[in-house]
Structure 1
Amino acid sequence: MQFNLADLFEAVVDTVPTRDALVCGDSRLSFVELDRGANQLAHYLAQQGVAAGDHVGLYMYNGNEYLEAMLACFKIRAVPINVNYRYVESELLYIFDNADMVACIHHREFVPAIAAVREAAKTLKVLVAVEDHSRADLAMIGAVEYTAAKAGQSSDRGFTQRSGDDYFVIYTGGTTGMPKGVMWPHKSIFFAAMGGGGHFSPLGACEQPEDIATRITEWPMRGIALAPLIHGASWWYACIQLLAGNALILNHNRSFDGAAVWQIVADEKVNTLQIVGDAMAIPLLEALAKTPDRWDLSAVFSIGSGGAIFSEVKQAAFKKYFPNVYLTNSFGSSESGQMGMDNGSKKTAAGLGNVSRSDYMDVIVVEANPPRRAELGETGIFARLGYTSAGYYKDPVKTAETFIELEGKRYLLTGDAAKLETDGSITVLGRGSNCINSGGEKIFPEEVEGALKAHDGVYDALVIGLGDERFGSRVSAIIQPRQGSALDLYSIQEHCRKHIAGYKIPREIHLIAELPRAPSGKPDYKMAKAYAESGKGAVA
């Protein structure tokens, strides 16, 4: 047995075969049922020539098929590739080509989109369509229906030996350019993003692969992953749940509706929620505000966020409805995995949160020549060492920019600015690439966004820097107002003065009906900047 995700999952299956593993809408699978379905698909893919190291696209909405397909890939040492279902033709063509996909498992409605790029995706040879009642013609791309592909295949295992060095690749969107494929060895991602199997056990992280069975607790938790599985944070959470022998609940709805989510939470007696920052917190809180007594949510005891900003004002709002809930705000990225969490114990007014320093993370002053580790009180870039991703697929230039050698160790630079506090803890300040330099002062958009969201009339907000002749950059806010709210620049500025320093206050605001965000909930700063530069929605 290896620190391979398929090996680890199979050990959990053999320990708790009849426990609930996966619930998505009307679909309910036990651990052994999920394993058998993944085995059938794995045998089909292998029969079609998909081999170890081959890349298999997963072009689907949330569903049991997504998890089955990922596990099937792991079982035959193939590499699952997340495909964003909102991609337009140029983006879709890019990822099919860049990822060198040999196979793709997709919802049926995406047949026309695949047909448009099929000829240019020269390595693509196997297509499996998950039924969704869209009636798209499978013959357009030569796809086989999902259940038909599995039919007749063995539900037993019988696969070759795997390795902890087998790869998983997750494509992550950047603020500029096309997405990059982050390469993760199974062992590294297990320890860096999944806590080494020790999240729910007093025994802590596994020391040997066989330890995974001893980390399964007597009373399984029921946790819901609310982001699409195409998002790294959601996929990691899914694996954490399954490898702990817990029940994973998925949001089967195609759009994010707060009331619908709370209904699932109530029906399934969910204990833990995984959200992606304010983009999910806001509609969840809005639904509670409208009908606070509609659902029995007494089973909820933990709400955790990762992958996007979870503002203090939204955390405080959750506390009103769940006074005894355990709230966490995790930091990390597709490249770094989990980089600690803040549970409300911020030690400074500035920043997004404060995390404990550990043996695997530090602050690096990259401006120094040569780069060096920060001293107490210094600001630099949040960095990880030890278990990290291996780099970017087919992008040695980006890999060289992101990973550095220092004192004989390999560090991953996350891109987040951070300060090494005098007590040795680390305050995460915000995305360094989005930092606004106004007259020599550094302003982190996330801090200004937090101040804006504390305004009763602000539903959501993004902050960007625009060119300024005098100061180099000026702070501009793109605001989605609450329905019926009338916002003006003066009132916004007066409100912000109570929360942040004067030089950080927005010099202009632009109102918008809905903020641009990715399906994961991450903000699209590129689109927000274009909106502000165009002058749209400007309010004096």
Structure 2
Amino acid sequence: MTTTAHPRPWLAHYEPGIPHDFQPSGRTLPQLLEQAAKHHPDRVALDFLGRTTNYRELWFQVQRFAHALQKLGVQPGERVAVMLPNTPQFVVSFYAVLLAGGVVVNTSPLYTPHELEHQLNDSGSETLIMLDSFYPRYAEVQERVPVRRVIVTGIQDALPFPKNKLYPIKARKDGMWVKVPIGGKVFSFTQLRKSQPPIPQPAAVSPGDVALLQYTGGTTGVPKGAMLTHENLVSNAEQCRMWMSDLKEGQEVTMAAIPFFHVYGMTVSMNLSVMTGATMVLVPNARDIKMVLTQIARTKATLFPGVPTLYNAINNHPDLARHDVTSIRACISGSAPLLLETSRKFKEITHGANLVEGYGLTETSPVTHVNPIFGEQQEGSIGLPVPGTDALIMDDAGQPVAQGEIGELWVAGPQIMKGYWQRPDETEKTIRELDGKRWLLTGDMARMDEKGYFQIVDRKKELIIAGGYNIYPREVEEVLMTHPAVLEAAAVGIPDTYRGESVHAVVALKPGMHVTEKEIIALCRAELSAYKAPRSVEFRSELPKTAVGKILRRQLAKEAAERRSTANSAD
């Protein structure tokens, strides 16, 4: 498979000052934090509901915790699962694991015991750092996973006085308090951090080493870990830094509401903030829109990476008028298509903040394309490839299509993953060598116009994106098929004005069997994170299939969307 050198029309539409070329700096992620502590020691790094930590203290805490992990036996290359919301403990844990030479396994706090069990086993994680309130889910599976040590912390450990004293009282009142038995293989995060000398044993870490296992689905829907190296993640933060050309070193305030356990939040909210000496305003629950608004107003946040549902929720919040959000200057929206109306209204309420759409994948650390922040922004477009990123539109034979025609989007650059953890066959399907570069086959169907702006037109992978979260049909379908009355099932995405898409289940029942929509949804909610569970269920006598018996998900999705549109019109 060969191709001639292809033009890069997007370069002519870069904003002034954005470099056309990019070379990785060769830094590791802990070096980003070390340099921030050196250049901005007194700058507030973390602001958690009013309690602040400067970069000097953050680096000190990271070194202490890294030493604690080494004393517990964490070895270079060992996987450490981090199951925390956006709290100071997440930031400390993330960089400390890497400083100790370990590999972070980002673990969603939304996981059910079933999902947690799969990820811990697949990654081989022997250490788990988690919030105390999540402990019961781990306790359900602890005998079936390789975890040798559990480190627990609580929200109260990071709160300022008197909130740290009041939080446990409120948690008990709300039935959310969990008393975790410290001892044996269960350790206190706070005690470990306090009891260790500050300097860890140096771990030999190079830019090409794997830093993170970020789990994703892909074509099969079976979650697998994308191996992202220090170079991948640092390069992507540097690429975003170049794109946001007006960032002021040591002066920005980032509203860190999107989860750090999501690769987009981790790169654009956390790593980019550390790289630029920005203050991170940590919000542990982005669904608490009133809290988000309160923190924006209190801290005068200037940057706000997010997802369309978050911006839309802010635009339409009943208390919006009581909060000043005009400090926000720029936002990059990722993970799902951004509606023009959402962008327009957000610009209006912030008095001019530029909210632009971007594109990326877990496998690309994640950003590959973004609309210009101040230049030409095209409606419905994911924008231009960021510096150092190449992009092609290819046909099924692996040849470039004509300009403006639809094909599969391939991307290349320093942010492309090393491969899938322990799945060389899946890696081989996803990454190709061409013209001396490693290209990632995104599975998304796209087109490029004459200016180099790209537009996603369809999903080859049949991925469902609800509220910025990736949902893989196979994972939902496997749960649907566990019901004794279900003969066959399909999960598809249908348009949702709030979430972008929602999960719609289509099932055929066994002869003589009966089950209700409510029962199907309840089954899924018991086995899957809430955002993955179907919000509607359709019953059919049989599901449409291809000649070889493959269920036609796209047909089902199209028909369901048309019915919903017709019903809405009738209303």
The yes-or-no answer on 1:283 pairing with 2:313 is yes
- Find the aligned partners of 1:197 and 1:255 in 2 and give their Cα distance: 24
CA distance in 2, matches of 1:65, 1:481: 31
Report what 2:83 is aligned to.
Answer: 59
1:531 to 512, 530, 537: 537
Distance in 1, matches of 2:273 and 2:292, equals 19
Displacement of 1:50 in angstroms is 0.4
Which residue number corresponds to residue 81 of structure 1? 105
Please name the residue that 1:410 is paired with: 438
Q: Which amino acid aligns with 2:289?
A: G
Which letter maps to 1:245? G
Q: Which residue of 1 aligns with 2:19?
A: none
The 1-side partners of 2:234 and 2:454 are apart by 23
Counterpart of 1:129? 152
d(CA) in 1 for partners of 2:352, 2:150: 48
Amino acid at match of 2:275: L
Query: What is the CA RMSD across the aligned residues, in angstroms?
Result: 3.5
Residue pairs, 1:252-291, within 5 angstroms: 252=284, 254=285, 256-277=287-308, 279-287=309-317, 290-291=318-319
User: What is the DSSP-based 3-state SS (H/G/I as helix, E as strand, rest coil) of the residue aligned with 2:110?
Assistant: coil
Identify the structure with bigger relative contact order (alpha carbons < 8 Å, sequence gap 6+): 2
1:362 alignment partner in structure 2:
391
State the distance in 2 between where 1:476 and 1:182 align: 24
Question: What amino acid does structure 2 have at the position aligned with 1:220?
Answer: Q
Question: What letter matches 1:121 in structure 2?
Answer: V
Counterpart of 2:8?
none
1:114 is matched with which residue?
Answer: 138
Q: How does 1:32-431 map to 2 (within 5 A)?
A: 32-122=56-146, 124-132=147-155, 133=168, 134-139=177-182, 142-156=185-199, 159-174=202-217, 177-195=221-239, 198=242, 217=248, 219-237=250-268, 238-252=270-284, 254=285, 256-277=287-308, 279-287=309-317, 290-336=318-364, 337-343=366-372, 345=376, 347=378, 351-355=380-384, 360-368=389-397, 371-387=398-414, 388-431=416-459
Structure 1 stretch displaced more, 59-68 or 423-432? 423-432
Q: In structure 1, what residue type is equivalent to 2:126? A: V
SS for the counterpart of 2:52 is strand
How many residues matched?
450
3-state DSSP of counterpart to 1:177: coil
**CA positional deviation for 1:186:** 0.6
Shift in CA distance, 354/372, structure 1 to aligned 2, threshold 3 Å: same
Give deviations 1:204-243, integer Å, cap 9, x for gaps.
xxxxxxxxxxxx9555100112112111111112110111
Deviation at 1:478, TM superposition (A): 5.2
- TM-aligned CA deviation for residue 283 of structure 1: 1.4
Residues 4 and 163 of structure 1 are in contact (CA less than 8 Å); yes or no, is this contact kept in structure 2? yes
Q: Give distance in 1, aligned partners of 2:135 and 2:66.
A: 22
Q: Is the 8 A contact 1:225 1:249 kept in 2?
A: yes
Distance in 2 of aligned mates of 1:315 and 1:533: 37
* TM-fit CA distance, 1:48: 1.1
The DSSP-based 3-state class of the residue aligned with 1:389 is: coil
CA distance in 2, matches of 1:531, 1:352: 32
Residues 296, 322 of structure 1: alpha-carbon distance in 2 compared, 3 angstrom cutoff? closer
Does 2:41 align with 1:17?
A: yes
Confirm or deny: 8 A CA contact 1:331 1:339 kept in the other structure: yes
* Counterpart amino acid of residue 314 in structure 2: L
Q: How far 1:407 moved relative to its partner?
A: 3.0
TM-score (norm 2): 0.71
The whole-number CA distance in structure 2 between the counterparts of 1:305 and 1:27 is: 28
How far, CA to CA, are the matches of 2:212 and 2:204 in structure 1?
Answer: 20
Residues 529/297 of structure 1: CA separation in 2 closer, same or farther (3 Å cut): closer
Q: Secondary structure at the match of 1:58?
A: strand
Q: Which amino acid aligns with 1:68?
A: V
Q: Which moved more, 1:316-325 or 1:24-33?
A: 316-325
Contact in 1 for aligned 2:86/2:257 (Cα 8 Å) = no
In 2, Cα distance between the equivalents of 1:218 and 1:423?
31
Which residue of 2 is the match for residue 4 of structure 1? 28
Which amino acid is the alignment partner of residue 428 of structure 2?
A
Question: How many Å separate the matches in 1 of 2:493 and 2:92?
Answer: 45
Same amino acid, percent of matched pairs: 21
Corresponding letter in the other structure for 1:386:
G
AA of the residue aligned to 2:89: E
Cα 1:479–1:218 change in 2 (3 A) is closer
Deviations 1:60-96 (A, max 9, x none): 1220000000010111110111111121122111001
CA contact (8 A) 1:58 1:80 kept: yes
* C-alpha separation in 1, matches of 2:533 and 2:249: 48
Q: Is the alpha carbon distance of 1:406 and 1:258 closer, same or farther for their aligned partners in structure 2, counting shifts above 3 Å? A: same
**C-alpha offsets along residues 504-533 of structure 1, whole Å, 9 cap, x if unaligned?**
xxxxxx9xxx9xx99xxx996x75597345
CA contact 2:411–2:442 (8 Å) conserved in 1: yes
Contact conserved, 2:286 with 2:292, CA < 8 A, in 1? Answer: no
Cα separation, 1, equivalents of 2:264 and 2:84 = 17
Structure 1 pair 100/414, CA: closer, same or farther in 2 (3 Å)? same
Distance 1:301 1:264 in 2: 15
Write the letter of the residue equivalent to 2:101.
R
Secondary structure, in 3 states, of the residue corresponding to 1:101? coil
- CA deviation profile, 1:291-334 (whole Å, cap 9, x unmatched): 44312223221122112222112111212213421222111111
The 3-state SS of whatever aligns with 1:14 is: helix
CA distance in 1, matches of 2:360, 2:186: 37
CA shift in 2, pair 1:410/1:481, >3 Å: closer
Between the aligned partners of 2:307 and 2:390, the Cα distance in structure 1 is: 22
Structure 1 gaps, min length 5: 203-215, 436-444, 454-461, 465-472, 483-509
Deviation larger for 306-315 or 527-536: 527-536
Opposite residue 214 of structure 2, the aligned amino acid is Y
